[in-house]
Amino acid sequence: MIKNYFQLAIKLTLILLLSVSSFISKSQNTNYFETSKNIEIFTDLYKELDMFYVDEVNSGDLIKTAIDEMLNSLDPYTTYIPESDIEDYRFMTTGQYGGIGSMITKRGEYVIISEPYKGFPAQKAGLMAGDKILEVNGKSAKGKTTEELSSILKGQPNTEVTILIERDGETFTKKFNREKVTVKSVPYYGFLEEGIAYIKLRSFTRNCANDIKSALLDLKSEQQLKGIILDLRSNPGGLLNESIDIVNLFVDKGEEIVTTKGKIKDWEKIYLAKRNPEDKETPLIVLINSNSASASEIVSGSVQDLDRGVVIGRRSYGKGLVQQSRKLPYNSQLKVTVAKYYIPSGRCIQALDYSNRNEDGSVGKVPDSLISTFYTRNGREVKDGGGVTPDIKTENEEVSDISISLMNKRLVFDFATQFRYKNEKIESIEKFEITDEIFNNFVEFLSDKEYQYTTATEDALDIFKEITDEEGTSDLISEEFNLLIEKIKLNKENDLENNKEEIISFISNEIVSRYYYQEGRIIDRLKHDKDIDEALRLFKNMDEYHSLLKTNE
């Protein structure tokens, strides 16, 4: 055993030394002695641990921990991808995998179907949201994590899978074949009003620019466009080349879209629009929020810098770092940050400076003193130092405590599941609405459910009570304090009615998803979307739209 581990250590050392030698040939700044010295120390340390540590050590876990901790000291985007995680990584870049086509989540000791993808094996086999997975291929699923069960459900297309399901107190078996599952990069597009096109982009996976192009051409074939809304909210980004091709759909061939700058000369590149645009005239609005990152920021930032359109929403995430995948031995990979990207005005929107950490290891945002001013094509001022700031800022919608509790306890989900059992179909998404009867049924459904929650006022009163107890003044205000607590409790009893409109929107969205899946969710949310309302308002006031794209001078 010791001999085998020792041989593994020697192999790892050789691999590391070969990797270092290769890297040194490309970088004159590498200190060869320091690098080789520390690799030798690491190898000897590992050998000593392996031979003398009191318990058996798992070499794979030990090395992975060392690798992960080393990379964590750099930035959160430089990561090691072992062979076991390669399929998940491939899904992130392609949107494709082999499996049953369903989102799953943990409930108690079992995993349940949270939403099947329309048109894929799970949905075609009749699986529904809320179905509890008891067994897979005859083996119990009890106690499995979502990750463990996901790896079991995934597999090569055309391989058979048998699932034992519990639904509404009954059990039954479903047997079907896995398929190649492709999660759409554009889950929905359509018209919000006459001539106003809407396109939702989920992520920047392979060929998503072509998906946007196809959606755009399809919409243009139906109506003459008066405005385009490209929704990048909560889009985490993805492939750099796809973001460039998407901007190219709206700007002239030859336009500079993004520049990357890194330590290696090969990564100092200027990316230009390579094709003629599909539409450079129709007014364009890009929606972003605090979860719009990376490639989403290239698109929104470039559209802003080139004054091609108006950006609406909340300040974006601020990820201006570029990653590249590097192949490692044994089918593993390294995703490594190789450059920073700069959008047309010359600004980098990276928010955190990982190269200068605080004494406690934390990373601070770029200080205001180091934030610089840049200018768009028309001379408008824009800033670097963290994300894309929208031309029109909208506020995050506050969600009530009771709604948060109902969603966290999965009570809205469970009510929608019961609703689906009792109703084979509903009206179209546009016509469906939560009636008073449905809402009253929901209130009745909650009558024996636990969904206690603490309001911000109650939290503040708890702190206040602690202070008065410490100061010995609690007796002086006890009567008033208790009266205030009773009033808060009475108000909480009316929270369902007081927040009825908000709660109805959550119920509607969950029920619609049972019949129309992801597309239904998106369409339903658009009914209560303040960012969309602001975009539609702007399209009705084109003087304001054009004035936003002009310099103030």
Per the CB < 8 A criterion, the answer to whether 250 and 209 are in contact is: no
Catalytic residues: 294, 305, 319
Instruction: Tell which phi-psi region holds residue 361, choosing left (phi > 0), alpha (psi between -120 and 50) or beta.
Output: left
Closest-CA residue to 133 (of 155, 161, 158): 161
**Can you list the alpha helix ranges (DSSP code H) found in 188-294?**
208-222, 240-248
Residue 259: CA count within 13 A, CB half-sphere: 13
Q: Which helix (H) or strand (E) holds 92?
A: helix 86-94
Identify the pLDDT of residue 24: 43
Residues 456 and 46: their CA atoms lie apart, in Å, by 51
- Which residue blocks in 357-499 are alpha helix, DSSP H? 401-408, 411-422, 436-445, 456-471, 474-493, 495-498
The owner of tokens 């993808």 is 117
Of 33, 2, 39, the residue nearest 17 (C-alpha): 39
Alpha carbon distance 53, 48 (integer Å): 8
Burial environment of residue 135 by CB neighbours within 10 A (0 to 12, 13 to 18, 19 or more): middle
Residue 332 to residue 86: CA distance in whole angstroms: 7
Spatial contact of 175 and 162, defined as CB atoms under 8 Å apart: yes
What pLDDT is recorded for position 17? 45
The C-alpha atoms of residue 530 and residue 255 are separated, in whole angstroms, by 33
User: Which residue segments constitute the domains of the chain, with CATH numbers given?
Assistant: 2-73 (no CATH), 96-182 (2.30.42.10), 188-393 (3.90.226.10), 399-553 (no CATH)
The CA distance from 270 to 344, in Å, is 10
What string of DSSP letters covers 279-347?
-SSS-EEEEE-TT--THHHHHHHHHHHTTSSEEEES------EEEEEEEETTTEEEEEEEEEEE-TTS-
**Cα(311)–Cα(299) distance, rounded to whole angstroms?**
10
Ordered per-residue pLDDT tens for the chain, 553 residues: 444 544 444 444 444 444 444 444 444 445 678 888 888 998 898 889 888 998 888 888 888 888 899 998 898 999 998 887 877 777 777 777 889 999 999 999 999 999 999 999 999 999 999 999 999 999 999 999 999 999 899 988 999 999 999 999 999 999 999 999 999 999 999 999 999 999 999 999 999 999 999 999 999 999 999 999 999 999 999 999 999 999 999 999 999 999 999 888 888 899 999 999 999 999 999 999 999 999 999 999 999 999 999 999 999 999 999 888 899 888 889 999 999 999 999 999 888 878 777 767 777 777 777 788 999 999 999 998 889 999 999 998 889 889 999 999 999 999 999 999 999 999 999 999 999 999 999 999 998 888 777 666 766 767 877 777 777 777 777 776 677 766 666 566 688 888 999 999 999 999 999 999 999 999 999 998 999 999 999 999 999 999 999 865 5
- CA angle at residue 392 from 388 to 397, to 5 degrees? 90
Beta carbons of 259 and 271 less than 8 angstroms apart: yes
List the Cα angle 335/203/113 in 5-degree steps: 100
State which H helix or E strand residue 538 sits in. Answer: helix 530-539
Tell me the whole-structure pTM to 2 decimals.
0.85
